[in-house]
Amino acid sequence: MDIFAYRIMPVIQIEDAADAQPLGEALMAGGLPVAEVTFRTDAAAESIAIMNDIEGFTVGAGTVITPSQVELAIEAGAKFLVSPGLRTDVVREAQLAGRPIIPGAVTPGEIMSAQALGIDTVKFFPAKVFGGPAAISTLAAAFTTMKFIPTGGIDGSTMPDYLKLSCVPAVAGSWVALPHLIAAKDFAAVTAACREALSQVAALA
């Protein structure tokens, strides 16, 4: 599937792998059958493996910062990889394995380095800190073929400003599956948040 088809990429941090199955099902029920599971916890690899077994769900790995994490993520079943920054060895490891990778790039130099590696879509992180929609729009004027996935400081109130940019196929963020909702096992609230976010996307069409 096109991982950006829904224009929202849920970024989720799972502390307990037992939450992976109900969380994946909650995202699907809310209309978002895709997620980036961050490698910020010890439960990440197991959670990815569990979500990979959910029929119709596409799971990727986020916060991938070393080649060994690329290997671990792929072994767990990650269909795509996301990194907060740009490391050549990490990108190459993913490419050799045939997995799409979205590295982070926020400066002209980083974007040019990404292009040299054959990358056409980068993560713009942290988006709010590095200038938000105005910064992306300015960079896109120089790098007309690059796509940007803004992440960091984005929620329902700021999402439309990013999605109005033609160079932004999707935004990524945790507001549709907030850590405290996952910890409380309030998966119904996650489903509701997904539906609300998708209704905002539809209103932009």
Residue type, 45: A
DSSP string over 120-141: -EEEETTTTTTTHHHHHHHHHH
Residues in Cβ contact with 157 at an 8 Å cutoff, skipping those fewer than 6 apart: none
CB 54 within 8 A of CB 28: yes
38 is a domain residue: yes
Give CA–CA dist 157/49, Å, rounded: 33
140 is a domain residue: no
Tens digit of pLDDT per residue, the chain (205 long)?
699 999 999 999 999 999 999 999 999 999 999 999 999 999 999 999 999 999 999 999 999 999 999 999 999 999 999 999 999 999 999 999 999 999 999 999 999 999 999 999 999 999 999 999 999 999 999 999 999 999 999 999 999 999 999 999 999 999 999 999 999 999 999 999 999 999 999 999 8
47 is a domain residue: yes
Query: Is there a catalytic annotation at residue 79?
Result: no
148 is a domain residue: no
Burial call 72-86: b when 16+ CB within 10 Å, e when fewer: bbbebbbbbbbbbeb
Catalytic choice (15, 36, 71, 196)? 36
Give CA–CA dist 201/162, Å, rounded: 11
2 is a domain residue: no
183 is a domain residue: yes
169 is a domain residue: yes
3 is a domain residue: no
For residue 104, the 8-state DSSP code is: B
pTM: 0.96
The phi and psi torsions of 122 (rounded to 5 degrees) equal -125, 155
Q: What local confidence, expressed as pLDDT, does residue 205 receive?
A: 83
Catalytic choice (79, 123, 147, 164)? 123
- In the chain, how many domains are there? 1
CA-only gyration radius of the chain, Å:
16
Domain encompassing residue 198: 8-100+154-204
Query: Is there a catalytic annotation at residue 185?
Result: no
CB 126 within 8 A of CB 153: yes
12: domain CATH number? 3.20.20.70
Q: What local confidence, expressed as pLDDT, does residue 1 receive?
A: 67
